[in-house]
């Protein structure tokens, strides 16, 4: 099997995540190509699409949420993700049982919530419910368990740029529509490899938040091509998925908090050099921080201060690169206005 270097994997990931060149494509389709977008912090959704879609207007995402063409739900790794309407049920049904089992393993002594779950479904059929009202009706201590037992989505105006706290819930089958078709974990595996491949079985399991034994059959059901990593690990990929030349130029890009390209399942691509990981993900910080990339690797952080995007490079950068960083920072500043 062909051996792929870290540089091969870096450029493959950048291409598939649309970070080599902004695309002219509908946001729902971009989300499908990305494998969904992590969305604990609402502005991350907007910035994550802006950095990938040419001329993306901020208000477009809010409109898509209102039209129910994209939705926010607690999906892989029990975290909030933004996905297309078409991808919601395949993702939700693939992870729901594993998500609940994981919760029950650690939630020792929690009361049986089946009765409350049935009652919550009845309440939600009457319309969306605020978190405060859910807590009042069922108790704040039951909230996490109920999220694992009842398929819910977060709905606007909550979880948007203007109202960032995602605290209004609707029953998924009412907001999205009932599940249809037979798409399952194999579909999700295809989404993952299209977005993050070539990758190992373990990387897919880490990304979806399921045991390796649970995801292996889905991968084995697919027609795949196989490579080797430099350490000998087997890498799986979809036929004809892009594998750019490792010398392909990579422009400066600004990434939001918790961008999935920086998480553990994408480590082989070295977008986030290990020596800088603690500067981005740290137990003392409530969330990751915004980053920018130079030549396909995180080279510093950014923050909004007094209405402007301010950058902090990790090391001294050449003047040509600093100009490119400054120009992209100015574009992101405009996006915030």
Contact 82, 70 (CB under 8 A): yes
Distance of alpha carbon 235 from alpha carbon 1, whole angstroms: 10
Contact 52, 23 (CB under 8 A): yes
Does residue 187 surpass a pLDDT of 80? yes
Q: Please state the rounded mean pLDDT for residues 71-87.
A: 95
| 3-class secondary structure, 253 | strand
Q: Please state the rounded mean pLDDT for residues 174-184.
A: 87
Q: Is 30 in the same domain as 155?
A: yes
Task: Look at residue 262 and tell me if it is in a domain.
Answer: yes
Q: Is 165 in the same domain as 270?
A: no
Of the candidates 146, 175, 204, which is a domain's last residue? 175
Q: Is 17 in the same domain as 151?
A: yes
Distance of alpha carbon 184 from alpha carbon 195, whole angstroms: 17
Q: Please state the rounded mean pLDDT for residues 86-95.
A: 95
Task: Look at residue 194 and tell me if it is in a domain.
Answer: no
Q: Is 137 in the same domain as 279?
A: no
Contact 143, 131 (CB under 8 A): yes
Can you list the pairs that 216-219 forms with residues at least 24 positions away whose Cβ atoms lie under 8 Å?
Answer: 218/184, 218/185, 218/186, 218/188, 218/189, 219/189
Does residue 209 surpass a pLDDT of 80? yes
List beta partners, residue 53: 23
Instruction: Give the model's pLDDT for residue 281.
Output: 87
- Centre a 10 Å sphere on the Cβ of residue 122 and count the other Cβ atoms it contains: 9
Task: Look at residue 218 and tell me if it is in a domain.
Answer: no
Task: Look at residue 105 and tell me if it is in a domain.
Answer: yes
Task: Look at residue 90 and tell me if it is in a domain.
Answer: yes
In total, how many domains does the chain have? 2
What is the maximum alpha-carbon separation in the chain? 63
Task: Look at residue 164 and tell me if it is in a domain.
Answer: yes
Nearest residue to 122 via CA among 136, 132, 134: 134
Distance of alpha carbon 185 from alpha carbon 190, whole angstroms: 9
Of the candidates 148, 175, 202, which is a domain's last residue? 175
Nearest residue to 43 via CA among 287, 284, 318: 287
List beta partners, residue 225: 237
Q: Is 26 in the same domain as 113?
A: yes
Q: Is 71 in the same domain as 168?
A: yes
Instruction: Give the model's pLDDT for residue 150.
Output: 94
State the residue range of the domain holding 13: 3-175
Q: Is 159 in the same domain as 17?
A: yes
Contact 171, 125 (CB under 8 A): yes
Distance of alpha carbon 143 from alpha carbon 103, whole angstroms: 12
Does residue 329 surpass a pLDDT of 60? yes
In percent, how much of the chain has pLDDT > 90? 82
Which residue has better confidence, 183 or 130? 130
Q: Is 160 in the same domain as 264?
A: no
Instruction: Give the model's pLDDT for residue 181.
Output: 72
Q: Is 257 in the same domain as 161?
A: no
And the tokens for 122? Answer: 């009845």
Q: Is 171 in the same domain as 258?
A: no
Of the candidates 142, 175, 208, which is a domain's last residue? 175
Instruction: Give the model's pLDDT for residue 109.
Output: 56
Task: Look at residue 65 and tell me if it is in a domain.
Answer: yes
- Tens-digit pLDDT profile for residues 146-159: 998 999 999 999 99
| 3-class secondary structure, 179 | coil
Q: Is 164 in the same domain as 270?
A: no
Q: Please state the rounded mean pLDDT for residues 44-63.
A: 98
Task: Look at residue 206 and tell me if it is in a domain.
Answer: no
The distance of Cα 203 from the centroid of its chain, to the nearest Å, equals 14
What does the DSSP assignment read for 64-128?
HHHTTSEEEEE-GGGSEEEEEHHHHHHHHHHHHHHHHHHHHHH-TTPPP-HHHHHHHHHHHTTS-
């Amino acid at each position: 099997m062909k051996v792929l270097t870290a540089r091969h994997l870096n450029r493959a990931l950048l291409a598939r995540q649309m970070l080599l060149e902004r695309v002219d494509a509908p946001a729902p389709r971009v989300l499908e190509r990305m494998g969904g977008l992590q969305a604990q912090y609402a502005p991350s959704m907007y910035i994550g699409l802006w950095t990938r879609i040419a001329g993306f207007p901020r208000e477009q995402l809010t409109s898509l949420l209102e039209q129910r063409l994209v939705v926010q739900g607690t999906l892989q790794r029990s975290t909030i993700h933004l996905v297309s309407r078409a991808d919601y049920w395949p993702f939700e049904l693939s992870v729901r049982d594993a998500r609940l089992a994981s919760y029950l393993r650690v939630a020792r002594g929690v009361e049986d919530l089946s009765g409350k779950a049935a009652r919550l479904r009845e309440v939600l059929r009457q319309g969306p419910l605020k978190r405060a009202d859910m807590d009042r009706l069922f108790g704040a201590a039951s909230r996490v368990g109920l999220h694992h037992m009842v398929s819910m989505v977060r709905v606007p105006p909550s979880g948007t740029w203007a109202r960032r706290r995602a605290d209004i819930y609707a029953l998924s089958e009412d907001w999205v529509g009932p599940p249809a078709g037979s798409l399952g974990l194999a579909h999700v595996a295809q989404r993952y490899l299209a977005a993050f491949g070539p990758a190992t079985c373990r990387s897919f399991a880490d990304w979806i938040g399921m045991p390796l034994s649970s995801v292996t059959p889905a991968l084995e059901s697919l027609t795949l091509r196989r490579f080797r990593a430099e350490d000998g690990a087997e890498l799986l990929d979809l036929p004809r998925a892009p594998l750019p030349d490792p010398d392909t130029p990579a422009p400066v890009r600004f990434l939001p908090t918790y961008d999935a390209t920086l998480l553990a399942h994408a480590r082989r691509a070295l977008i986030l050099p290990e020596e800088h990981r603690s500067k981005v993900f740290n137990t003392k910080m409530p969330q990751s921080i915004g980053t920018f990339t130079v030549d396909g690797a995180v080279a510093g952080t950014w923050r909004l201060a007094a209405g402007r995007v301010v950058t902090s490079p990790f090391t001294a950068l050449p003047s040509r690169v600093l100009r490119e960083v400054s120009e992209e920072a100015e574009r992101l500043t405009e996006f915030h206005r």
